[in-house]
Amino acid sequence: MANNYVASDIEILSGLDPVKRRPGMYTDTSKPNHLIQELIDNSVDEALSGFCNEIFIQIHDDGSYSVKDNGRGMPTDDHPIENISGVEVILTKLHSGGKFREKSYHFAGGLHGVGVSVVNALSEKLSAKINRSGFSYEINFKNGQPKSPLNKTDKIKKRVTGTEIRFWPNLKYFDSPSINKKHLKNLIKAKAILCPGLKLTLVDEAENTFEEWLYEKGLDHYLTSESTEIHIPEKPIFCSEKKTDCELEWAIFWNIEQKGTLQESYVNLIPTTQGGTHVSSFKTGVLEAFKEFMDSRNMVPKNLKVNSDDATDQATFVISLKMLNAQFSGQTKEKLSSRSSTPFIVNSTKSTISKWLHQHVATGEKLAEFIIEKAQRRVRSEKTPRKRTNLAGPALPGKLADCLSQEINKTELFLVEGDSAGGSAKQARDKTFQAILPLRGKILNTWEVDPSTLLASNEVSDIATALGVEPGAVVADGVRYGKVCILSDADSDGLHISTLLCALFLKHFRPLVEQGKIFVAMPPLFRIDVGKNIIYALDEAEKNKILSNLKKAERTKANVQRFKGLGEMNPEQLRETTLAPGKRRLLKLESTNHGKTLAMLDMLLAKKRASDRKTWLEKKGSLVELNKT
């Protein structure tokens, strides 16, 4: 590295180069789903402004995707400063668009002016067809650059307007070429529900399918159609309120049973999967309405503080906010950061729910009691150490770092290889719901051990005691955790330990496997540093794929670190890669063909099967390097 650092070393990226150099800053690079969403969002913005009532999405069998609407059509006249067509400006210039001011759009999801230009930047080819002012226009791009200026192709009726964009994703920017069709359909359905009167059509050429969504009803119908659980009230509480700069709609009811809770939020019809200020404001309004209702009836026990999670954790709700100048945390717009609508949302929500509670007093009191009971359970779990299910049994293992929560379906027990890794895991965990039990060395091969003598092994005994389930039990009703996660090193020794633990559960704790409670955590074996970005790879094959993609993207300066074990990771790395829900990778231990599974494990682990094992290794051992085992 040169010691001299001068002005000529400063690189200025122009046009679409910033997107191509750092695609992860602008879109989700796992699949091309977000590129399709950007185009759908643009068409929906036309619908929100009252200029579009049909959107046509197509998955083509050549790997391309197209979105067509009957909106006003992109501007085809020349831009006064750039001296190129408005279409070309929108598709080639970052931070260009008609949504920075309210002149062309009132409410819009596209705010940064980078959405459709990102699609162009990350596509091998893109074509845009526009119907506007009595003519059809077309322009084509290759790797983000126009192949020719905008061409006028045909004369059409003036009332025929709209935009059609078709793109072929450049696969060097994405981990997978295929899209998640289920997520795409859910997105399209949500747009239709949240924008009554807007018809959206999806055609899949590869599967030869045609689906259409058009809803005249609103959120309350959507909520009841998606929930099969018992809920209160039977008909959701619904709110629809408008201001000059803001529109709010929401619907809510409460589930009697914990499972099946649906909580969705949208801003200008864009899914905000990570919530944001609109969701927290809504929850605050719900809480304030119930607190006022409960206080007026002296329902809250002395010194009990009810919080917004108590009031909404078991609620099913959908929030749709339309606002001006919405600010999101990042280009993927998964979380709203704007606070300008907070007072409006809090006051509107509180007013609507308060009015409903006082009109339905009996049902309101039932809901209030439900929320108070939930708050009391939360307080008990925070103040009281976790108790064993079986009080007559032995004391919990001394090295078990237990969690605080007593809600079984939320708790997790990690069986961690080694005291060193166990120490890191204890610092990395969320102690509210995650417990850590370090295991010393390789666990006993229990495949041929009788259940009656199994507890002679200290490690197995500690596992059974922590779980609250005896080996060989026919049922496991007393299990103390919702998930049991095996966590060992990512190398071959760690995989051996994971195999021994999987065999233990399949042979001696089978009810836990059948209940879907056993998981294997997948920590990374490699860390790849590319500038300021950090990428983790599960194994050699994934590392090679990542390095290959970086090379294709001309990002060859990558530093690769191989983790020798979990203990080498600091707590922050362990949390980010392996413990934090939403970021970690967990494999559920399942046995769909139990006889075949047991036969394979018997061949691998039984002492009497040494000759069979040798024969199998001679035939299959070479496949390890090819990752085909």
In this model, does residue 188 exceed pLDDT 70?
yes
Average pLDDT of the residues in 349-360: 94
Average pLDDT of the residues in 528-557: 82
What is the model's pLDDT at position 501? Answer: 92
Q: Is 28 marked active-site?
A: no
> pLDDT tens across 582-612, in order?
888 899 998 777 677 878 888 888 887 888 8
Average pLDDT of the residues in 1-27: 59
Long-range contacts, 604-608 (Cβ 8 Å, 24+): 604/499, 605/445, 605/447, 605/448, 605/499, 605/500, 605/503, 606/447, 606/448, 607/448
In this model, does residue 107 exceed pLDDT 50?
no
> pLDDT tens across 466-489, in order?
998 888 877 677 789 999 999 988
> pLDDT tens across 32-64, in order?
888 898 899 888 888 878 889 999 999 999 999
97 falls in which pLDDT band (50, 70, 90)?
very low
Q: What is the overall mean pLDDT for the chain?
A: 82
> pLDDT tens across 285-313, in order?
999 999 999 999 999 998 889 998 889 98
Among 54, 226, 229, 491, which one carries the catalytic annotation? 491
Which tokens hold the place of 253?
Answer: 């009811």
What is the model's pLDDT at position 17? Answer: 64
Separation between Cα atoms, residue 263 and residue 193, nearest integer Å: 15
Percent of the chain surpassing pLDDT 70: 85
110 falls in which pLDDT band (50, 70, 90)?
very low
> pLDDT tens across 555-590, in order?
667 888 888 778 778 788 888 889 988 888 899 998
Q: Is 489 marked active-site?
A: yes
Q: Is 204 marked active-site?
A: no
DSSP letter, residue 497: H
Tell me how far apart the terminal alpha carbons of the chain are, to the nearest angstrom.
43
Q: Which residue has the tokens 């009497």?
A: 608
Select the highest-mean-pLDDT range: 230-239, 346-355, 447-456. Answer: 346-355
Separation between Cα atoms, residue 108 and residue 215, nearest integer Å: 20
Residue predicted with more confidence, 222 or 367: 367
Among 61, 295, 382, 493, which one carries the catalytic annotation? 493
Q: Which residue has the tokens 């579009």?
A: 52
Which tokens hold the place of 399?
Answer: 């090295």
Among 417, 459, 462, 542, which one carries the catalytic annotation? 417
Separation between Cα atoms, residue 191 and residue 69, nearest integer Å: 14
- Phi–psi pair at 167, nearest 5 degrees: -135, 150
What is the model's pLDDT at position 390? Answer: 42
382 falls in which pLDDT band (50, 70, 90)?
low
What is the model's pLDDT at position 609? Answer: 81
Q: Where are the beta strands (DSSP E) in 43-114?
A: 54-59, 65-69
Of 62-66, 86-90, 136-140, 369-373, the one with minimum mean pLDDT is 86-90
* Greatest Cα pair distance in the chain: 87
Q: Is 618 marked active-site?
A: no
What is the model's pLDDT at position 125? Answer: 92
